[in-house]
Amino acid sequence: MSIEYALFDTALGTSAVAWSDRGIVRTFLPESDAQATRARLGRRLPDARETEPPEHVRRLIGDVVRLLGGDRVSLEWVSIDDAAVPELDRRVYAAARTIPPGSTLTYGDIARLIGDATLARRVGEALGRNPFPIVVPCHRVLAAGGRTGGFSARGGTETKMQLLRIEGAVLL
């Protein structure tokens, strides 16, 4: 399977998206600069090659740029290639993708949505492995009691909160 990628600029810095003929394989939030974003992508997808994106990827890039610029944009339309993702993680990601911009759920809410309220910790672990940040909006999932919970992107929970502020989320 051939994987291609493109870097693109957003209000937060240079992001990246990688795709195959089956859909989006991975997205990358900005690192400290474009070179660092490209290097991280190279570590995760060493055989990927940089190229001009096809139309559906250009649409995704435009929507991500708009979303990170403050527009309320849904990315539910995006086809992801999650064949290599464990079944539980796929279910978690599908549930998280239903959270609209500006809204949040808790790890426990997601666990209930996938049918087992006892899985809140495993939901958090799955979101920590999320290969599709922004497309699978793991930043919209908080810990119980309005606590931030974790976030594995550069900047950690500060970046998570910045993304929620950009989307206009009301936090208690």
Q: Sheet holding 23-28: strands in order across?
A: 23-28, 13-20, 4-10, 49-50
Please state the φ and ψ torsions of residue 4, each to the nearest 5 degrees. -120, 160
CA–CA separation, 107 vs 55, rounded Å?
A: 34
CA–CA separation, 157 vs 59, rounded Å?
A: 28
CA–CA separation, 11 vs 43, rounded Å?
A: 24
CA–CA separation, 70 vs 94, rounded Å?
A: 23
115 is catalytic: no
Q: Which of 57, 119, 138, 142 is catalytic?
A: 138
Which residues are known to be catalytic?
138
